[in-house]
Each structure stands twice: as C-alpha cells, then as structure tokens.
Amino acid sequence: MAQIRAIRNRMTAVGTITRITKTMQMIATAKFTAALARAKDTRPYTSAIRNLVGEVSGAAGDYDSPLFAAKGSAKKELLLVISSDRGLCGAYNGNVLRVALKKLREVKAQNKEIVIETAGKKAASFFKFQKHDPAEKHTLGDTPQFEDVARLADKYMDGFANGEWNSVSVAYMRFETNARQIPEVIQLLPLSQEEKGEAEATSTNYDFSPSAEAILDDLLPRSVKTALFQAFNDAAVSEQIMRMIAMKAATENANDLGKDLKRDYNRARQAQITTELTEIISGAAALE
C-alpha cells in the first residue's frame, strides 16, 4: 500500500510539472514569434545603414573619424556580455558565457586590461562567481528598446573617443535559423577598417548635399547603434527559441515518465489485488 501511495504522489507531481513546462513552452513560443518579427524588421535597416556608410565613405576621400581608431595608448578593452535574466533556456547562457570567457582569457594573455559589462542577470552572476565583478549591470528585458540601446551605444562611443578603451566588443548569441544559433564575439568599436577600404574602392560617384563628411558624422554613430540593437534583438530571439525547445523536451520527458509511472501503478495495484484474493482463498480453504 505504501508503494502505491508513493507512486500516486509521484504521478501527481509529474502531472504538475508537465502542466508548468507546457505553459512555459507556449509562453516562449509567443515571445519567440514577437522577437523574431522584431529581429527580421531591423535586419534590413542595419544592412542598409552599413551599405550606405560604405557608399558615402567612398566619396569622402580622406575623411577620418574617432570611431575608426583608438585614441591614446590605453591597453584596456570593454566586453559587453548579453545573457538572459532567467534560466530554463537550455545551453543558451552556457554557450554565450563560454565564448565570453574565452575572449577574456585572450585579452589577458596579451597583457591587456579588460572591463566586463553585462546585460542579463545570468552573466552578472557568472562573472561574480569567477571573481571578475562586472563594472556595470544593464537590464533591458525581453524586448529591448532602441532608445535604451542607443544610450548605451552613446556611452561606449564617448568612452572610446576619449581613450577610455581601445576596443569595445559584444558577446551574444547570433540568430540564423530556428535550428541554428551561433555564440560569437563581435567588435563594435573601432569600426572595421576593411569595410572602409572596400568603400573607398567603389566606383559609384554621387553628389552629396550636405557634404559626405557631414553625412558620415551622422551615419557612423547610427551604424554603431543599429549594430548593437541588432545584437540585442538576435539575443532575444535565440533565448526564446532555446527556451521553447528546452520546455518542449521537458514536457515530452515528463509525459514519458508519467506513462511509466502509470504502468508501475497498475502493476502494483494488480499485485495488491492478487495478494488480497490469494489471502481470501487461503483463509476460506483453511476453514473447510
């Protein structure tokens, strides 16, 4: 009887877990759909800004910007790590933190100082455990707003232009398809010199009003902001799809466990009934 009661209690607990994980899967699916729409909407704009910077840079001649090269000789880099605020999203946080930790070790191997900033509670807790407390902890939530990201980008550009850091990088999960998300570290600042070189090699000629230099003064900061915003959007999409997959797997495992427990319960119940019938028959036979 005790075994049957224990199995029944486990069946109740597994049923509760199944309902919770299925609900979380449905919530993650809804959030993933919304996040994917935002990421798809911003990607063409980000690409267009990058191409426009290339076209205008090709006509700007010897134009230079403080965003193209580090100022001073400071050997300090800034790394922003984008993680989730909550768990139960599979290997999402683990993969992002792994590439961030690899970047941290590479910078230290070059005898440079690195400053860590985090966006997400999981990254903040991880680096605190690693005895490398983040300089700042940002919270932008599941739906990052462009205004918040733009303020963060402005801070990075001001610090880079003033020589506080000679490089600004972002560790995040880049979204490609529903089945493929890639953890990577991208360089936000300085702006890529390769893109500048390709732009200068373009043969298309335009007349700009105002001048190409004046347009670049506005376009370059905008390109940094859009690149950082795209990173946050990709991270949000990747988090939700990995949570959706993890909760789907958890629900399926809970259903399988529930079936196994149901079978064990039926066997235990049948064994109890058989034992009771045997005792009744044996008692009746003893009275004859």
What does the pLDDT look like over 223-261, one tens digit per residue?
999 999 999 999 999 999 999 999 999 999 999 999 999
Residue from 58, 66, 49 nearest 212 by CA: 58
User: CA 4 from chain center: how many Å?
Assistant: 44
Which structure tokens are listed for 76?
């300090």
Q: Residue count of the chain, please give it.
A: 288
Q: In whole angstroms, what is the distance from residue 244 CA to residue 249 CA?
A: 9
Nearest to 139 by CA among 156, 154, 152: 152
Q: How does residue 15 score in pLDDT terms, banded at 50, 70 and 90? A: very high
Tokens linked to 54? 């290339």
pLDDT digits (tens, 9 = 90+) for 32-71: 999 999 898 888 988 888 888 877 776 666 777 788 877 7
pLDDT category of residue 25 using cuts at 50, 70 and 90: very high
What integer is the mean pLDDT of 124-131?
A: 92
Give CA–CA dist 277/37, Å, rounded: 64
What is the end-to-end Cα distance of the chain in Å, rounded? 30
Instruction: Say what percent of the chain tops pLDDT 90.
Output: 55
**pLDDT higher than 60, residue 198:** no
Mean per-residue pLDDT, 105-117: 91
Task: Report whether pLDDT(209) > 80.
Answer: no
Dihedral Cα 10, 12, 13, 16, nearest 10 deg: 160
Could you give the CA distance from residue 114 to residue 171 in angstroms, rounded to a whole number? 13
- Burial class of residue 118 (count of CB atoms within 10 Å of its CB; 0-12, 13-18, 19+): buried
From CA 45, how far away is CA 51, in angstroms rounded? 10
Above 50 in pLDDT, residue 273?
A: yes
Residue 178's pLDDT is what? 87
Map out the domains of the chain with their CATH numbers: 2-22+245-287 (1.10.287.80), 27-244 (3.40.1380.10)
Strand segments (E) across 76-214: 76-82, 113-119, 136-138, 167-177, 180-189
Helix (H/G/I), strand (E/B), else coil: 217: helix
Cβ-in-10-Å burial (0-12, 13-18, 19+) of 50 comes to middle
Give pLDDT, residue 200. 47
Tokens found for residue 177 = 């398809």
